[in-house]
Amino acid sequence: MLHRIIGRAGSGKSEYILSLLREAVGSGKDCVLLVPEQQSLEAERLLCTALGDTANMRCEVLNFERLPERIAREYGSLARTYIDDSGRDLLMSVVLGRLSGNLSEYGRVCGDVDFIRRMIAAVGSFKSAGITPDGLREAAERVSGESGGRLSAKLSDLAAVYEEYDRSFPEGIYDSCDSLSILADGLPSTPFFAGKTVFADGFYNFTFQEKKLLDRIIAQSDDVYISFTADFDDDSGIFDSNNSCARSLALKNSPYEDISLPSNLRAADGALGYLEKNMWNDLAGPYGGDSGSIRVVECESVFDQAEAVCSEIMAFVRAGCRFREIAVSMRTADSQCDIIAAMAQKHGIPVVVSSKTPVVTQPFFAFVLASLECACTDFLPSSVKKYVKSGFCGLGVRESDLVLKYIDVWNIRGRKSYEEEWTMHPEGYRDGLDGRSAAVLRSVNAARSRISASLSALCEDMASPSLTVGTALRALWRHVTVCGCAAGLRASADTLRKGGDEDGALRVSQLWKIFVGLCDQLYAVCPDEKVTAERFAQLFRIAAEEKSVGAIPASADAVTVGSAVTPSGLVMLKV
């Protein structure tokens, strides 16, 4: 049976679910708690704190991303391989390349990276909403005519791309966007939820796929309790989507029970409660009571702002607050996060920056991409400079500085130039070489020889007229292994760890695994696709740009700093 727990933010929905979980576990029932992916760790910690260390013997915390794999481990199909965001980008890029001549509206932008990602997002949205290529074609026919000609053409193009994209998946490879649909279709024959009580908390809304799966779970389990951040009496519009989702689940799963929680229990005083209720209400008047819990501080610069934030944090801590109970939220997690983190370090405040770093900004991936650029651009100076500055080309700091300066002075370009000995004066137009200049020139030539030797095999392989994605990957793999990149990454991680930067060490230690995963994705998606060196470099960059690297916080008691565009957690925080 479905039980809807209805209430606004802070009304005690999570606490109510914890009380129900405590009662169910205490009576010996098996339970499943579904939460958003980013809340899984906090939910497990909270569950153990509230119910004791043995709670996980009866209750399992899952999310929609992990659920297909968890059920597959028990009932089979674990060997099914799904491609990730990088693989989807690669496949879509290949598909758009094939269809570019047949698309009336989108043919000219098929090679644009932003368009590739927009198309991936569109297909993902179609799948989440249960829209098929045939449904798009029917919509195109309905709007066809003089007034809807372009819209009809766009819908037809989208249908063609969507259909070809699904058709192009290699045998045995599946789109992770389809995992919930596959699970929902197979759940009746895999009674994972039979006899269990299921709780879902922390979700603002559910997609078509998630609702379809929840319908199956409700039919199979004993009871399902779902919390909805909703208010059926609020006509401001902010709860329209949430209210609609709650109603649609109830329509398909009657009879059901409603549990209403009307009071705001989270707000420390009336001012916060008034703000939560009227923040988007243009007709609301000013709050008449004491508003001391809400402060507006004006600062002259971002540095003064960071200083003020740290001052407030220390005031809370001196009053008995824990660091982990404090969060610093901003509109977007841009460079301001780093400023606040640096200021917090200065004041001895432990901080966790809730964001991930794109791998393409890391030196190792800069080395890989610069290597491909050198092969594509015939040793363009800018490409060689990136290659040398990455720190993975085998040159020391002094050698790197000398060769970079020499390249700048003489504007050296072309692979052939690196195969011949350099004889020009290191300082530019000068007469004769003194002892120091001769020594510098010898060092520069030694560096030149190493650069040429490390890149020559890659350039020759990438210049092959019969180049495919598979052969290009083998050439790139040989290049990074000959350059000792795996050992270099381990050494970098060890250096960071010895210097006390555990967070940086954890990030660096993930890069090799990510690189291997990218190579696997490329080979799985299009191993026999004929490409040029430039096209392969583009495909690799498209895939790499989808990857980011993060680290588990080294301290359990730390202030969280991050973007405001994240779902609320399951604990009380001072913001």
Q: What is the pLDDT of residue 551?
A: 64
Give the pLDDT confidence of 432-484 residue by residue, as tens digits: 888 999 999 999 999 999 999 999 999 999 999 999 999 999 999 999 999 99
User: Helix or strand or coil: residue 327?
Assistant: strand
3-state secondary structure 381-421: HHHHHHHHHCCCCCCCHHHHHHHHHHHHHHCCCCHHHHHCC
Confidence label for 565 from pLDDT (cuts 50, 70 and 90): low
Task: Give the whole-angstrom CA distance, residue 177 versus residue 91.
Answer: 14
Query: What number is the average pLDDT over the span 552-557?
Result: 68
Give the pLDDT confidence of 390-433 residue by residue, as tens digits: 999 999 999 999 999 999 999 999 999 999 999 999 999 988 88
Cis peptide before 255 (omega within 30 of 0): yes
Give the pLDDT confidence of 539-551 residue by residue, as tens digits: 999 999 999 887 6
Task: Give the whole-angstrom CA distance, residue 554 versus residue 506.
Answer: 10
Find the helix or strand (DSSP H, E) in which 105 lies.
none
Confidence label for 572 from pLDDT (cuts 50, 70 and 90): very low
Name the pairing type of β-strands 256-261 and 31-34: unpaired
For residue 390 the two structure tokens come to 């990455």
Task: Give the whole-angstrom CA distance, residue 85 versus residue 521.
Answer: 10
The phi and psi torsions of 82 (rounded to 5 degrees) equal -110, 140
Task: Give the whole-angstrom CA distance, residue 24 versus residue 524.
Answer: 45
Its pTM surpasses 0.75: yes
The phi and psi torsions of 234 (rounded to 5 degrees) equal -85, 125
What DSSP designation does 424 have?
S
Give the pLDDT confidence of 323-356 residue by residue, as tens digits: 988 988 887 766 678 888 889 988 989 888 767 7
The phi and psi torsions of 174 (rounded to 5 degrees) equal -125, 155
What DSSP designation does 108 have?
G
**pLDDT above 70 (res 567):** no
Could you identify the residue written with the tokens 């004929």?
A: 530
Task: Give the whole-angstrom CA distance, residue 17 versus residue 533.
Answer: 56
For residue 375 the two structure tokens come to 């092969």
Task: Give the whole-angstrom CA distance, residue 222 versus residue 226.
Answer: 13
Name residue 328's beta-bridge partners.
561
Q: What is the pLDDT of residue 274?
A: 82
Q: Does residue 363 contact residue 480 with C-beta atoms inside 8 Å?
A: no
Task: Give the whole-angstrom CA distance, residue 372 versus residue 399.
Answer: 22
CA distances from 511 to 8, 89, 362, 387, 521 (A): 42, 20, 8, 17, 15
Q: What is the mean pLDDT of the chain?
A: 89
For residue 271 the two structure tokens come to 């001012």
3-state secondary structure 268-301: CCHHHHHHHHHCCCCCCCCCCCCCCCCCCCCCCC
For residue 152 the two structure tokens come to 């009809």
Query: What number is the average pLDDT over the span 69-94?
Result: 85
Q: What is the pLDDT of residue 550?
A: 75
Task: Give the whole-angstrom CA distance, residue 27 versus residue 338.
Answer: 48
Instruction: Kindly give, in sequence order, each residue whose CB lies less than 8 Å from that of residue 210, ignoring residues fewer than 6 positions away.
Output: 64, 180
Name residue 256's beta-bridge partners.
2
Confidence label for 197 from pLDDT (cuts 50, 70 and 90): very high
Residue 122 CB-density burial (10 A; 0-12 exposed, 13-18 middle, 19+ buried)? middle
Q: What is the pLDDT of residue 246?
A: 92
Q: Does residue 109 contact residue 160 with C-beta atoms inside 8 Å?
A: no
| 68-82: b (≥16 Cβ within 10 Å) or e | bebbbeeeeeeeeeb
Name residue 329's beta-bridge partners.
562
Name residue 175's beta-bridge partners.
83
